[in-house]
Amino acid sequence: MNVFENESVRQLVDAFMTLETREECEIFLEDLLTTKEILDAAQRLAVAKLLEKRAVYNEISRETGASSATISRVNRACLYGPGGYRTVLERLENRDLDEAEK
């Protein structure tokens, strides 16, 4: 079963898409998730960024505190997943470049 075929999950995705500012996103995440869940998700994104830079597991673990299991899971998603990490990391990189040019 595709998790995104679930009506509640579709509504969650739609809810994220309504957010317009960093502050709105922070407030929603704080309401929706525990502090640990937010930190875990942020850690996974940091792992993905380091994997994209071809960092080795020991370096990633040292820098992020992620376990080898977490690093492996993120690596699998980066290599074989639908491309969500890649999309977000490219957009963040482009945003950073745009801001540096200003």
Which residues have CB under 8 Å from 60's CB, separation 6+? 47, 50, 51, 66, 71
Give the tens place of pLDDT for each residue, 24-36. Answer: 999 999 999 999 9
- Per the model's pLDDT, the better-predicted residue between 48 and 101 turns out to be 48
Which residues have CB under 8 Å from 80's CB, separation 6+? none
- Evaluate if residue 98 carries a pLDDT over 80: no
Distance CA 102, CA 12 (A): 34
pLDDT for the residue 30: 98
- Evaluate if residue 1 carries a pLDDT over 80: no
Give the tens place of pLDDT for each residue, 39-89. Answer: 999 999 999 999 999 999 999 999 999 999 999 999 999 999 999 999 999
- Per the model's pLDDT, the better-predicted residue between 102 and 22 turns out to be 22
pLDDT for the residue 5: 95
What is the distance, to the nearest Å, from the Cα of residue 11 to the centroid of all Cα atoms in its chain? 19
Residue 83 phi, psi dihedral angles, 5° rounding: 105, 15
Give the tens place of pLDDT for each residue, 13-24. Answer: 999 999 999 999
Confidence (pTM): 0.89
